[in-house]
Amino acid sequence: MNISIRQWQAKGVNEPFEQVVKELGTLDDDQALVRVAGCGVCHTDISFWHHGVRTRKDFPLTLGHEISGTVVDGPPHWKGKNVIVPAVLPCGECMLCLTGRSNICQKQRMPGNDFDGGFASHVVVPHRFLCEVPNKLLEHHSLEQVSVIADAISTPYQVLKKSELVAGDLAIVIGVGGVGIYAALIAGIMGGRVLAIDIDDQKLAQATAHGVSATLNSRGMELKDIRKQVRAIANGLGAPEFGWKIFEMSGTRAGQELAFNLITYASTLSIVGFTMDKVDVRLSNLMAFDAKLIGTWGCKPELYPEVVELIASGKLDIRDFVQTLPLSSINEVFRDTLAHLFTRRVVLVPDFN
């Protein structure tokens, strides 16, 4: 459903917008109408818009998959509730869903990819896996801020769980941008001894300011020198010599090459960042080190309540990592995101909701 401001104004601005939406389309039994509070700008959106990555639904298509808002129509038990719309919406019935892998359900639907997304005033979504936002969470965070749970926070949370990180493990996070910073923070909450690696001193300083154990700027360094530095840092942190948990978040060839070269005995390397570049690696290292290489896709909706509780409990404070801007500035925001001008995740807020 795609409702324009012009259609709304033609009805008269004094009439509730939800009523206009109802007149322009009827919800299916499995759908809910959500008034968007905010929608985060993700690298995936930029890839669709600029890098030629294809969406599953042909254009025209409204992008945006990091959505929070309020249910204004749909099943009675959802009406009026504040929610986060998971970026991956599975069917809930297939073999993958029933065996705990709903994040890769082959019938999954993604806002801004399979259907119109959250860079809008309202969005129609399947309601089965909506995640309620408790009032406790909103005591210190706005509803628009927590839209980033839908991807930027839930995605690293899932991969940290998959990595089997335990207290005392060395967690090496490569790339502490809009997603990687949450991987570093959550790893620390889980008891990991965290090393953040990046090529941007400002990002590393931000990580340090929020409690990350150690940082390393790898710009211009040879791989062998980085490995040597990492071993020294691990020793200084009192971390184990083996069993390192490595998280590649940068989505760059250099980051992925570094991540693979840091594998040691019993390591687990998790690939989260996406790039179209190919990397030359010696896969036999996995055999020699008895190591694991895993990927991840989004986050299964079943884990969302755990992420919400991290924030609601005060363990994870996201306010310093999010900035809100009006939806009407989307063209400028996309341009400046492409140019890497933002230091915080941008959440676009509808101008007239």
Query: ω into residue 60 within 30 of 0, thus cis?
Result: yes
pLDDT at site 10: 45
Rounded distance between C-alpha atoms, residue 110 and residue 116, angstroms:
9
pLDDT at site 25: 66
Residues 106 and 200 in one domain: no
Report the DSSP pairing between strands 131-132 and 82-85.
Answer: antiparallel
Q: Residue 314 CB: number of other CB atoms within 10 A?
A: 11
Q: Tell me: the pLDDT tens digits for 33-90?
A: 999 999 999 989 999 999 888 999 999 999 999 999 999 999 999 999 999 999 999 9
Provide the token pair at 307. Answer: 């992420």
Q: Tell me: the pLDDT tens digits for 108-163?
A: 999 999 999 999 999 999 999 999 999 999 999 999 999 999 999 999 999 999 99
Residues 327 and 239 in one domain: no
Rounded distance between C-alpha atoms, residue 181 and residue 155, angstroms:
12
Rounded distance between C-alpha atoms, residue 316 and residue 121, angstroms:
28
Q: From start to end of 89-180, where are the E strands?
A: 122-126, 131-132, 170-174
Q: Tell me: the pLDDT tens digits for 176-228?
A: 998 999 999 999 999 999 999 999 999 999 999 999 999 999 999 999 999 99
Residues 190 and 79 in one domain: no
Sign of the four-CA dihedral 204, 173, 155, 295: positive
Report the DSSP pairing between strands 214-217 and 82-85.
Answer: unpaired
Residues 50 and 67 in one domain: yes
Provide the token pair at 93. Answer: 């019935």
Q: Count up the domains in the chain and report the number.
A: 2
Q: Which of 258, 278, 295 corresponds to the end of one domain?
A: 295
Q: Residue 297 CB: number of other CB atoms within 10 A?
A: 17
Q: Is the pLDDT of residue 12 over 50?
A: no
> What distance lies between CA 193 and its chain's CA centroid?
22
Residues 323 and 262 in one domain: no
Residue range of the domain that includes 18: 5-151+299-349
**For residue 181, what is the domain's CATH number?**
3.40.50.720
Backbone angles phi, psi at 85, to 5 degrees: -95, 110
pLDDT at site 210: 95
Q: Tell me: the pLDDT tens digits for 76-123?
A: 999 999 999 999 999 999 999 999 999 999 999 999 999 999 999 999
Supply the DSSP symbol for 137. Answer: G
pLDDT at site 23: 55
Residues 128 and 162 in one domain: no
Q: Which of 295, 311, 330 corresponds to the end of one domain?
A: 295
Q: Residue 325 CB: number of other CB atoms within 10 A?
A: 17
Residues 229 and 181 in one domain: yes
Q: Tell me: the pLDDT tens digits for 234-254?
A: 999 999 999 999 999 999 999
**For residue 46, what is the domain's CATH number?**
3.90.180.10
Residues 139 and 168 in one domain: no
Name 79's Cβ contacts closer than 8 Å, sequence gap at least 6: 71, 72, 73
Residues 170 and 226 in one domain: yes
Q: Which of 6-10, 62-66, 305-309 has the lowest mean pLDDT?
A: 6-10
Residues 213 and 186 in one domain: yes
Residues 225 and 325 in one domain: no
Residues 69 and 173 in one domain: no
Strand partners, 268: 245, 292
